[in-house]
Amino acid sequence: MIGYGKQTIGKEEIEKIIEVLKSPWLTQGPLVEEFENNMAEFCQVKYACAVSSGTAALHLACLTAGIGDGDEVITTPMSFAATANSVLYCRGIPVFCDIKESWPVLDLNLLSKKITKKTKAVISVDYGGLPENYEELNHICRKYGLIHISDAAHSVGAEYHGKRIGSLADLTIFSFHPVKTITTGEGGMILTDDIKYNHLLKKLRTHGMEKNHEMLVQQGPWYYEMRELGYNYRMTDIQSAMGLAQLDKIQEFLHKRKEIADYYTQSFSHIPEIILPETLPDRKNAWHIYPLRIRFQSLIKDKVDFYHFMMNNEIRLQTHYIPINRHPYYQGLGYHAEDTPFADLFYQQEVSLPLYPDLSEKNRIKVVRLVKEFIRCSRKDIRKEKM
Ligand SMILES: *Cc1c(COP(=O)(O)O)cnc(C)c1O
């Protein structure tokens, strides 16, 4: 079975992890700091804070942005639920802004209309790995005094106006889940250029505790104190060892992902039932996923048929995403999927094709052949011409 995403692990990761197992550090130790420094350098940003998952990174980013009781945070419904959940963790209120018709990123004209006195922040998502319109979004955020948190779980290594993702929002978060650009098993990171944010993040990551020279002199060498309600969101040295080895290979991963995406785009470029992923000349896509949109309404078969057809041929597709306001939990809070019609339409059309560095040429060709075969055999008219 071929899935939509998969990690690429080599002997470098294995050797580096074994070294950690023989060292005195298992949990957060010197490799966490090394991983943070290397990531910060790669992303051209001042500070990085490694944590236990992308979700933990989102939670701490929201806390650091000061989201609390009743604060509104505008975000997209076309993301993984964790994006909006992080607002709920802080007792804030997620406000869903619909996506653009052409591509699942926040519709910024609509977003401006959703800003109220209670709005505190915006969480954008670089869907699929293509950076959001940072310039315009940051302009809006500055104008209304909002904090911009970028959920860049898809866009590690992507570029916007020649700059790597990491320093373009007030707080940027990454995920290192196995399907993402680089992996640490589970893991995440928050990047920022703000020293105060960084200080708070590091404290919140480990129970809100602080220990400094002054305290040790005044109270004694055992002393530390809890100053915030923090968590145990630490990353381990085992995970960081893996992250360091993965980061060494990131350019190769990004290159291979782009090569496969280009092959798909070229292969599907003249099929009227297919809407290709957006490409913009001022950004470099990290190609986390290949979101194919099919106009099923013009075919005699639907998305479920397509899934089964591919599954019968040993290809397991995925959908990114079920709009967050469609989930029962959010419906229970009073949200409606109908409030964001373009997100709902995108959901009806989208399927993510297999895309990961190790996907063989044979399998890429197979995916393309099957997609074309499905569409050709599902056309309403009898032409069913060859493609
Ligand atoms: C993967 C992902 C997350 C969550 O990351 P975890 O590391 O799995 O907690 C959040 N947002 C988006 C957009 C993601 O793709």
Nearest CA to ligand 1 atom 3: 54
CA of 58 to the centre of ligand 1 (A): 9
Q: How confident is the model at residue 286 (pLDDT cuts 50, 70, 90)?
A: very high
* CA 362 centroid distance within chain: 28
Q: What is the pLDDT of residue 225?
A: 94
Distance of alpha carbon 375 from alpha carbon 336, whole angstroms:
32
Does the global pTM surpass 0.85? yes
Tell how far the Cα of 374 is from the centroid of ligand 1, in angstroms.
Answer: 31
Tens digit of pLDDT for each residue in 292-326? 999 999 999 999 999 999 999 999 999 999 999 99
184 lines ligand 1 (CB under 6 A): no
CA-to-CA separations, 60 to 55, 56, 64, 238, 362, in angstroms, rounded: 9, 6, 6, 22, 43
User: Would you say residue 382 has pLDDT above 70?
Assistant: no
Cα of 125 to ligand 1 centre, how many Å? 10
Any ligand 1 atom below 6 A from CB of 246: no
Answer whether 60 contacts ligand 1 (Cβ < 6 A). Answer: no
- Count CB neighbours of 48 within 10 A: 25
Determine if ligand 1 sits within 6 Å of the CB of residue 284: no
pLDDT at 53 over 70: yes
Q: Is 128 in the pocket of ligand 1 (CB under 6 A)?
A: no
226: which residues sit within 8 A by CB, 6+ positions away?
207, 208, 209, 210
Atom of ligand 1 nearest to the CA of 180: 1
pLDDT of residue 387: 62
Task: Locate the ligand 1 atom nearest the alpha carbon of residue 55 and give its number.
Answer: 9
**d(Cα 31, Cα 23) in Å, to the nearest integer?**
11
Phi, psi of 215 (to 5 degrees): -60, -40
- Is omega for the bond preceding 321 within 30 degrees of 0, making it cis? yes
Question: Ligand 1 atom 5: the closest Cα is on which residue?
Answer: 54
Q: Is residue 386's pLDDT more than 80?
A: no
Split at pLDDT 50, 70, 90, the class of 381 is confident
Element at 119 (helix H, strand E): strand 119-125
Q: How confident is the model at residue 232 (pLDDT cuts 50, 70, 90)?
A: very high
Task: Report the alpha-carbon distance of residue 152 to residue 161 in Å, rounded.
Answer: 16
Least confident of 1-5, 145-149, 162-166, 199-203: 1-5
Tokens of 48: 């990085």
Using the mean position of ligand 1's atoms as its centre, give its distance from the Cα of residue 80 in Å: 6
pLDDT digits (tens, 9 = 90+) for 331-359: 999 999 999 999 999 999 999 999 999 99
Mutation test residue for ligand 1: of 55, 132, 150, the one with most atoms within 8 Å of CB: 55
Mean pLDDT over residues 48-63, rounded?
A: 98
Residue 224 C-alpha to ligand 1 middle, in angstroms? 33
